[in-house]
């Protein structure tokens, strides 16, 4: 018995509809299940507030949990925004996705930009002194920009600009260098390069690499 093309199309449509219905039921039921979710807060984080519908299609966010210390709360599967508070930390939302294999989160917000600037004011002379000590030929033709601290204040990156860049030489190369502070003090984490790649320096946070790669020759 031959099956007409129309019948085949109907069968395909029915199968697609059944698959979509099944997926919808599975998604709906998973949202009904409350899951224990653990948050480990950094020492600088005084508290966190967890929201759903955060910046979602103009909807007002809904607060679903607040923790004043590391601990566990119950959440349904899905996406949430964790907003940290603390004296010197960034209060930018941290997006998490709760699921079967994702129910424990380390909350390590970076330091605020204002606080990083305060730290840099104290560290700048030593940081640039280390660069000059390691690369003594810099002072003859180059100028070290102020640069910036990143994340927890243990990462520093700056540009090393040829003097021509400040004398109208727009084609002058801009070098970049990254330093990291460990228990031994500040060290060169990535020597001067025109640009850094994740593959070449996997131990350096991508946020630091992205920021310095986009930096210009401003002082």
| 3-state SS track over the chain | CCCCHHHHHHHHHHHHHHHHHHHHHHHHHHHHCEEEEEEEECCCCCEEEEEECCCCCCCCCEEEEEECCCEEEEEECEEEEEEEECCCECCCCEEEEEECCECEEEECCCECHHHHHHHHHHHHHHHHHHHHHHCCCHHHHEEECCCEEECCCCEEEEEEEEHHHHCCCCCCCEEEEEEEEECCEEEEEEEEECCCCCCCCCCCCHHHHHHHHCCCCCC
How many Cα atoms within 13 Å fall on the side-chain side of residue 26?
Answer: 6
Answer yes or no: do 101 and 119 share one domain. Answer: no
Same-domain status, 101 and 133: no
The pLDDT of residue 26? 53
Domain with 129 in it: 113-213
Same domain, 98 and 121: no
- Comparison of pLDDT for 19 and 71, the residue scoring more: 71
Residue 166, token pair as written in the block: 């400040």
Number of domains in the chain: 2
pLDDT of amino acid 16? 78
Mean pLDDT of 35-63: 88
Top pLDDT among 173 and 194 is at: 194
Beta strands 47-52 and 62-67 are antiparallel
- Mark which of 107, 128, 149 sits at the end of a domain: 107
How confident is the model over 168-186, as pLDDT tens digits?
A: 555 678 899 999 999 999 9
Distances in Å between the Cα of 58 and the Cα atoms of 54, 55, 79, 194 are 9, 6, 16, 41
- pLDDT at position 60 is 80
Q: Is the pLDDT of residue 11 over 70?
A: no
Q: Do residues 120 and 208 share a domain?
A: yes
Predicted confidence (pLDDT) at residue 116 exceeds the cutoff of 90: yes
Same domain? 142 vs 199:
yes
pLDDT of residue 104 exceeding 70 = yes
Contact 131, 186 (CB under 8 A): no
Sheet holding 71-76, edge to edge: 71-76, 34-41, 104-107
Q: What is residue 76's predicted lDDT score, i.e. its pLDDT?
A: 93
Of 49, 73, 107, the domain-final residue: 107
Q: 130 in a domain, yes or no?
A: yes
Residue 54 belongs to some domain of the structure: yes
Q: Are residues 120 and 209 in the same domain?
A: yes
What pLDDT score was predicted for residue 140? 83
Q: What CATH number is attached to the domain comprising 76? A: 2.60.40.1120
Same-domain pairing of 123 and 103:
no
Do 101 and 127 reside in the same domain of the chain? Answer: no
Query: Is 59 part of any domain?
Result: yes
Query: Does any domain span residue 209?
Result: yes
Residue 131 sits in the same domain as residue 60: no
| Co-location of 159 and 189 in the same domain | yes
Residues 85-124: b if buried by 16+ CB within 10 A, e if exposed: ebeebbeebbebebeeeeeebebbbbbbeebbeeebeebb
Its pTM stands at: 0.74
With respect to residue 15, please indicate whether it lies within any of the assigned structural domains: no
The last residue of a domain, from among 48, 76, 107: 107
pLDDT at 58: 65
Please determine, for residue 218, whether its predicted confidence score (pLDDT) is greater than 90.
Answer: no
Q: Which residue has the higher pLDDT, 81 or 7?
A: 81
**Domain assignment of residue 50, yes or no:** yes
pLDDT for 68: 96
């Amino acid at each position: 018995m031959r099956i007409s093309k129309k019948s085949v199309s109907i069968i395909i449509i029915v199968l697609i509809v059944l698959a979509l219905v099944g997926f919808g039921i599975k998604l709906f039921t998973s949202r009904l299940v409350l899951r224990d979710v653990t948050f480990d807060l950094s020492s600088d984080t005084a508290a966190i507030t967890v929201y759903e519908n955060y910046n979602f299609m103009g909807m007002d966010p809904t607060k679903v949990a607040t923790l004043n210390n590391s601990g566990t709360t119950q959440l349904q599967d899905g996406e949430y925004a964790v907003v940290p508070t603390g004296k010197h930390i960034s209060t930018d939302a941290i997006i998490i996705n709760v699921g079967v294999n994702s129910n424990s989160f380390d909350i390590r917000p970076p330091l605020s930009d204002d606080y990083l600037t305060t730290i840099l004011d104290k560290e700048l002379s030593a940081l640039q002194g280390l660069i000059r000590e390691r690369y003594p030929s810099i002072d003859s033709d180059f100028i070290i920009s102020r640069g910036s601290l990143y994340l927890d204040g243990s990462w520093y990156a700056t540009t090393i600009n040829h003097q021509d860049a400040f004398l109208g030489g727009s084609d002058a190369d801009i070098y970049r260098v990254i330093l990291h502070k460990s228990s031994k003090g500040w060290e060169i984490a990535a020597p001067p390069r025109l640009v850094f790649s994740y593959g070449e320096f996997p131990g350096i946070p991508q946020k630091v690499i992205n920021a310095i790669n986009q930096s210009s020759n401003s002082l």
